[in-house]
Amino acid sequence: MVSQPPPAVRNTTFQLQLALNNGSNIQLQSDKPLPQGSQLQFNLQPDGSVVSKVLQASSATTMSALDQLEIQSSLRQALPQQISLGNALTQLNHFATEPQNSPVSSVVRSMLQLFGFKPAQRSPSIIQQNIELGGHQTENQLAKTHQTNSQDMKSQLSILQQLSKQLPEAEANRLDQLVQGIKARITGQQIQALQQRKEQPDGQFERVLQLDIPVHFQNKLENVELKISHEAQAHHGEELKPQWRVRLHFDLQEDGSVDAEIRLRENDQLSTQFWCNKQSTYLKLQQRLDEFNQRLLQQGYTEAELQCHHGSAPEKQAPVQKQLIDLRT
């Protein structure tokens, strides 16, 4: 058995306690952290020192073959059914008006108010609300408190499923299809985020959250794909340097698609890159970079590094959903 404090700072000495089969314990020191479950080989040297070798390093994100099969099965079911949240809420708007005093319309209006973002509001609390109540943290909330917020997306979807039984068959089927599509979308995003999660024995990590942000645009809801990463990497023996990375994907119809990657490092150092697949959109955005930089300065950030590119985002930066499995099998 290996026990140790969690990895924290560079040049820390980690204590390893080995419980032997004969009941005795051996205390060793290591300059590197090792997670519980690691398999080690120890060789006693003639001078009395001990040389160790890691046979198999355990990781919080290591998945068994059975886990991988289960995840692929879940994705195979979720991906074909999923509907982006912006698209789904646009279609749900039909149930918000007919009839206005019905329980179904009340729930739908509540969802439209909670999860529809209006750019003119420029309020970070709206984005925070989408993240906290969007259904991606429902299971964590249940595990901690054994209850969920009544405004949570999954809670409201469950209510809609129950209320759909009061509707005519055709309307009930349409509502149920939308509810299942939203649930599948959330499930797919949760699983894809889990697949990208990394926890390394040396303290490096990456934790990912993916979700949709419905944005009011020209009298309807457009969908913005949002991916947030919290990561820490060390290069050439340097200390771990945490950073936040936000990736956005916009489909702007006649203006084409736009990808953005925002990195926030220590001391509020900010860098942002844009990729536009249409030349005209690239030129428009290029002209607005100075204005964008001024807004960032007003928000208290140091002068940001802003770049705009014509073309598609590189694979690593692209936040759009990728088909990770063969849907035909």
- Regions of the chain with pLDDT less than 70: 1-14, 20-21, 30-39, 48, 54-72, 74-75, 77-79, 100, 121-123, 201-202, 234-238, 303, 315-329
What pLDDT, in 10s, does the model give residues 273-297?
999 999 999 999 999 998 988 888 8
Q: What is the reported pLDDT for 321?
A: 40
The rounded Cα 72 to chain-centroid distance in angstroms is: 18
- Would residue 218 be called left, alpha or beta, if left means φ above 0 and alpha means ψ between -120 and 50 degrees? left
Cis peptide before 99 (omega within 30 of 0): yes
pLDDT on residue 5? 40
Nearest to 184 by CA among 209, 157, 224, 164: 157
Q: Which pLDDT value is given to residue 180?
A: 92
Residue 324, Cβ density class (10 Å: 0-12 exposed, 13-18 middle, ≥19 buried) = middle
Q: Mind listing the pLDDT tens digit for each residue in 184-194? A: 999 888 888 88
pLDDT at residue number 139: 84
**What does pLDDT average to over the chain?**
78
Per-residue pLDDT tens digits for 95-105: 888 776 789 99
pLDDT of residue 295: 85
Give residue 196's pLDDT. Answer: 81
Read off the tokens for 112: 């439209």
- Could you tell me which residues are beta bridge partners of residue 247? 227, 261
pLDDT at 63: 54
* pLDDT attached to residue 234: 66
Contact of 198 with 204, CB cutoff 8 Å = yes
Say what the pLDDT of residue 156 is. 92
Give the 3-state secondary structure of residue 71: helix
